[in-house]
Amino acid sequence: MKVYKVELLIVDHDDVGDEIPDILEQHHQYPNSCIMPTVMNIESRDIGEWDDNHPLNDSSQQKFAYNILFNES
């Protein structure tokens, strides 16, 4: 199984600001084109077989696992 890190450039036409993550995660259509996301970069990593105990499936371990996968500090 693979996971993806997607880097976006977002033009914020409606000054939604701090609501952008919520809009991206919760909405399938963007009202009145309030934001205009453009994928600028995408990286993938193989994480092997998925199971419910995978660190990416645990909110307390997810950020740590992400940082290791994508060499973030």
User: What are the CA-CA distances from residue 40 to residues 22, 53, 64 (Å)?
Assistant: 20, 31, 24
Report d(CA 5, CA 68) in Å as an integer: 12
> 0.75 exceeded by the pTM?
no
26: number of Cβ within 10 Å = 8
Domain spans, the chain: 2-69
Average pLDDT over residues 28-48: 84
Q: What is the mean pLDDT of the chain?
A: 89
Residue 35 has pLDDT above 70, yes or no: yes
Comparison of pLDDT for 35 and 65, the residue scoring more: 65
Q: So what's the pLDDT on residue 22? A: 84
Q: Please answer whether residues 34 and 27 qualify as being in contact, where contact means their C-beta atoms are separated by less than 8 angstroms.
A: no
Q: So what's the pLDDT on residue 36? A: 78
